[in-house]
A and B are shown apart, each in its own frame.
Chain A
């Protein structure tokens, strides 16, 4: 076990998922076919190199198909790069699919041992952590039941509980933090932070930008197998958000009025990253192709899962409506206070005819922004909470028993 330094070097790495069979047939049937197979080749990753130092949390982000999973499989040594090399120093553990090692017929307890062994723990190690693992999963009651009788949630919770206790030196985390209910997710996030604080090197692969910006110091952005940028996490996240703005003009080409431009800025300029409570300005530009009357513009905001969490219209803001001649350009700026919690939000824009409610153009999402908050709050609306008074009435002071029970109950529920 060489513990001298802990670094990743992944220089000039290429990987192709489907080139094996073309390559084999190419070998078998002369050159001609080789050329033919070249066209069927698919480079999942091209020339990616980065280095992660000991104790660092490094994120890899990108849209679907950007090559994140391939990068992950190469990092975790499941696949070999076609070109280039990779060096990992230290005990590596990959949380790619936390329930991969489970066998449905075995009980929860047996599966802990099995999965632990798969993740590289010794039996003695698992034995010593068994109580912690079971307690973490919160399914003590069913630990001796075959896992095939478990619900999906219980399955995933047990899986993560084992994986979270591996104590690796290098940890690769896929989208595993999205298992279980909200409470369990918080628990996982806490555990991850603990692992990072414990000095482990963490590689975090996700398109959950919220988690990435929460955990990672540095980040790599992939697009179609290529490196777009690498650097401090918030910068890379912003770059990703800018990149993922949908282009819009093509589909709306035949409309009488189109939204030709939407720009989001803070007081310094165009921006995709905001603090909770900060003010954002949205510049909108409409171009009319034909004469239109009684127009109104509606900005709205959706959450990551496309629920509308805010919407209004120029009409309802008391601005009335307006008419445009062919070729006219209409500009307006909205000011929004972003009283929202940490997360990704899509800003969308819609232009419609006020009288008939006909939609002329709907650009969703026109821009995606990331809002971060200092406070640990959930949900969408940030109400800027504060605790202004607190205290405990000792049980001995209580006069009647129902009140006493209530007090005990409250105390149990309250966070430490």
Chain B
């Protein structure tokens, strides 16, 4: 088994050019023939952040505490990775079905499709992050030593996204129902994930929310960027294990089904 995986990883390396081209295609096509073009990558997250600020404001009014700039920054910092995850999953879910022609006609490792879907979303995320950094500088969220956690946290996010992407893309190829289930989960997922609120706000029961593997990552980002504190390490380890399991399991699941893709799509 490890031998086989090593071989397949080598093959994936060989096809990295293809991964690049498919990602390039996905990104280019998304913004072709649109007036706003790449601006959409910034505009969409702004909408989510706007929604988050409204929620935060309502909370502030209800509790009688004024809205802090830090709260706004926290919402912004957590919204972008969440948007990235949602877009990766949504996009990858259809990635095999939309490329039916290639799945049934040409041989190459098919995981490039879900992975490219994640990469294309990552590209959008990076563009939006550029805008976010400017925003954070304006509201004076200074840099600090805890920022070293950020790359690791983002990597965990990508690992988790790739793992889920592989599972949903392969599953939706066999059963189109998966698409609808995923859509519903993504729509309501934001309520079960501390994006617009912090886990702390729920008091003791907040820990239940951290069972959602995305939560510790988002909380970690908020902690290191806004509050200048280290992330909650035990929970982060939990997310990390969850993410790696998802990646490995997703890969095995995908590879197991890949030989019958062409005849089942």
Contacts and interface: CB of A to CB of B under 8 A. Distances in A.
Interface of A: 17-18, 20, 73, 76-80, 92, 94, 96-97, 100-101, 103, 105-106, 110, 113-114, 117-123, 146
B262 interface: yes
Interface stretch (B101-109, B161-169, B181-189, B199-207): B101-109
Interface of chain B, main secondary structure? helix
A100 B25 contact: no
B18 interface: yes
Interface string B13-30: 001011011101100110
B142 interface: no
Given A97-B106, A114-B22, A120-B108, 12 more contacts: A18-B263, A20-B260, A78-B105, A78-B107, A96-B105, A97-B101, A100-B102, A103-B29, A114-B25, A118-B106, A120-B15, A146-B32
Given A20-B260, A105-B33, A106-B29, A77 B107 contact: yes
A105 B32 contact: yes
Contact of A94 (B25, B33, B101, B107): B107
Contacts of A113: 21
B262 A118 contact: no
A97 B259 CA distance: 19
Kindly state the interface size class of chain B when it binds its partner: 20 to 34
Contacts of B68: none
B105 A20 contact: no
A106 B18 CA distance: 16
B143 interface: no
Contacts of A77: 107
Contacts of A123: 17, 20-21
B140 interface: no
7 contacts: A73-B104, A76-B107, A79-B263, A80-B260, A110-B28, A123-B20, A146-B32
Given A100-B102, A114-B21, A79 B259 contact: yes
Interface in B1-47: 15, 17-18, 20-22, 24-25, 28-29, 32-33
Given A101-B102, A117-B18, A78 B29 contact: no
Contacts of B33: 105
A42 B33 CA distance: 46
A101 to B, nearest CB: 6
Contacts of B22: 114, 117
Interface in B100-159: 101-102, 104-108
B245 interface: no
Tell which of B21, B24, B101, B264 has the most Cβ of chain A within 10 Å: B21
